[in-house]
Amino acid sequence: MSDNEIYKVGFTQGTFDLFHRGHLNLLEQAKKRCKYLIVGVNSDQLVEQYKGNKPIIPDQDRAAIVAALKVVDQVVITETLDKLDALDKYHFNAIFIGDDWATSPRWRKTGQELAERGVPLVYLHYTQGVSTTILRTKLVAQDAKGNT
């Protein structure tokens, strides 16, 4: 499969809290690589389980924001990080994630498992300098100073 392959159905998943340019860049890049893009928005409960903190924006609102984007064809609220489970539910032909995860042992294992089922893990360019963690930290700092 080439770097320019267009897949029938693509999938990506994330929290998408405090939606920012990095999120938009990822979704735009993913849509350029598939005809139909399904986006999993992690549930509040799932985010609390793996990040240890609750999202600022509730999952239904985050899903509505993502669904409003013209590059997104379908939004689902996800309750698991298991990509094989997502594959069984949504039958995608490729999964997209940011290339900041390229060295992650978890993602290397996931990529191998998906490849065994004929589904490539496609790394997309990560937008440097912006993340929900950075935004959240700035908000907490401003709040501590009494700024709005």
pLDDT digits (tens, 9 = 90+) for 99-109: 988 999 999 99
pLDDT the model gives residue 105: 94
76-134, pLDDT tens digit by residue?
999 999 999 999 999 999 999 999 889 999 999 999 999 999 999 999 998 776 666 66
Of 3-7, 12-16, 60-64, 117-121, the poorest mean pLDDT is in 3-7
From CA 35, how far away is CA 126, in angstroms rounded?
21
- Residue reference for tokens 């340019």: 21
pLDDT the model gives residue 101: 86
From CA 96, how far away is CA 123, in angstroms rounded?
6
pLDDT the model gives residue 18: 86
Residue-range domain boundaries for the chain: 7-68+78-102+124-145
Task: Give percent of the chain above pLDDT 90.
Answer: 73
Strands (E), 46-114: 74-78, 94-98
From CA 15, how far away is CA 17, in angstroms rounded?
5
CATH match of 7-68+78-102+124-145 with 3.40.50.620: yes
Sheet holding 94-98, edge to edge: 74-78, 34-42, 7-14, 94-98, 121-124
From CA 9, how far away is CA 33, in angstroms rounded?
9
Q: What pTM was estimated for this model as a whole?
A: 0.86
- Residue reference for tokens 């809290």: 17
Confidence band of 1 (pLDDT split at 50, 70, 90): very low
pLDDT the model gives residue 100: 87
pLDDT the model gives residue 148: 53
pLDDT the model gives residue 143: 58
Structure tokens at 103: 């060295």
Q: Identity (one letter) of the amino acid at 39?
A: V
